Amino acid sequence: MKEPTVRVQKIRRDSVKTRLIVFGILAVLLLVVSVFSEYLTPCDPYLQDLTIAKAPPSAEHLLGTDRYGRDMLSRVIVGSRTSIFSTLLLVAVITVLGTAIGVFCGWHGKWVDTVLMRLSDMFLAFPGLVFALAVAGVLGGGLHNAIIALAAISWPKYARIARSQTLAQKETAYIKAAKLAGSGAGKIICKHILPNIIGPILVTSMLDIGTMMMELAGLSFLGLGAKPPIAEWGSMMSDTRSLMNTAPWITFAPGVAIFISVMIFNLLGDTIRDYADPRNRGR
């Protein structure tokens, strides 16, 4: 009975590793395309030519052209830099901010912990995108303000995770030994706490990339994110939604790009979570 169980565990580990490699390569390819997007475009993404406006997909323009005659493939490629790197910046901000608040609350506790955790409860009580719409509307729209709005309502999840992990680590024997050895709070947090709690936080941030990309695109679609003529996938869909009946390829192109990117990052996040599961690790 033991040998088949070991064989199943090995097959599961190999499957997770294979998926991790495949989705990792796809995610890296997305990032490479984003970084070198300006050199990969077949046409100038901002060059207007009204004589070929709303042209359907062809050999010359693989994804057609928009209402101003701009090549859609070029705009989708260039838009990847704005959409993907804005998302990564947002996830990095909320991960660092939420983790710092959570560790601070878990380590020091007292009234600061109570105030910040009640504040996080207030943010978590509201639907995230609705709250972000309100914040972005107050700030006046724009890509930077959209990132600030989503960061303002997305940090509590990470704060909760970091706080609970810090509280668990705080009572362990090696932390008490470090205190007895004369280590200060900063040294203990940086050397002992963070390395032991960073795993669940990083997995959560990877799973959040797809969600944050959708929410950023949603704010842009509603006019509270990137503004035309900046090539950004959500803004491109918003600008062409009135053409769905006459030229649907103009809206489908950035929509498919969002779908593929979100799917890759979500699958990568799921695979990293499976890989981090102790049941899938070899001895």
**Above pLDDT 90, what percent of the chain?**
24
- Rounded to 10 deg, the angle between the 248-276 and 72-108 helix axes is 40
Q: Where are the domains of the chain?
A: 2-280
pLDDT at 283 over 70: no
Would you state the pLDDT for residue 277? 67
Mean pLDDT to the nearest integer, 122-143: 81
Give the C-alpha separation, 179 to 164, whole Å. 20
- How much is the pLDDT for 221? 86
Band (278; pLDDT cuts 50, 70, 90): low
Q: What is the pTM of this model?
A: 0.86
Please state whether the peptide bond connecting residue 195 to the residue before it is cis, i.e. omega within 30 degrees of 0: no
pLDDT per residue as tens digits for the range 259-277: 999 999 999 988 888 887 6
Least confident of 13-17, 20-24, 117-121, 244-248: 13-17
Rounded Cα gap, residues 78 and 37, in angstroms: 5
Q: Cα dist. 201→102, 171, 207 in Å? A: 11, 20, 10
Over residues 37-84, the pLDDT tens digits come to 989 998 888 889 888 888 889 888 889 898 888 999 999 999 999 899
Task: List the Cα angle 82/124/134 in 5-degree steps.
Answer: 55
Token readout for 147 is: 């990132």
State the average pLDDT for the chain: 85
Predicted confidence (pLDDT) per residue in 187-226, tens digit: 888 888 888 888 889 888 988 998 899 989 888 888 888 8
Q: Give residue 258's pLDDT.
A: 93
**Class for domain 2-280, per CATH?**
mainly alpha
Q: Of 34, 162, 35, 154, which Cα lies nearest the Cα of 90?
A: 154
Q: Is the dihedral of CA 50, 51, 55, 58 positive or negative?
A: negative
* Dihedral angle sign, alpha carbons of residues 167, 172, 176, 179: negative
Characterize 80-116 residue by residue with b for buried, 16 or more Cβ atoms within 10 angstroms of its Cβ, and e for exposed.
bbbbbebbbebbebbbebbbebbbbbbbeeeeebeeb
Q: Is 71 helix (H, G, I), strand (E, B) or coil?
A: strand
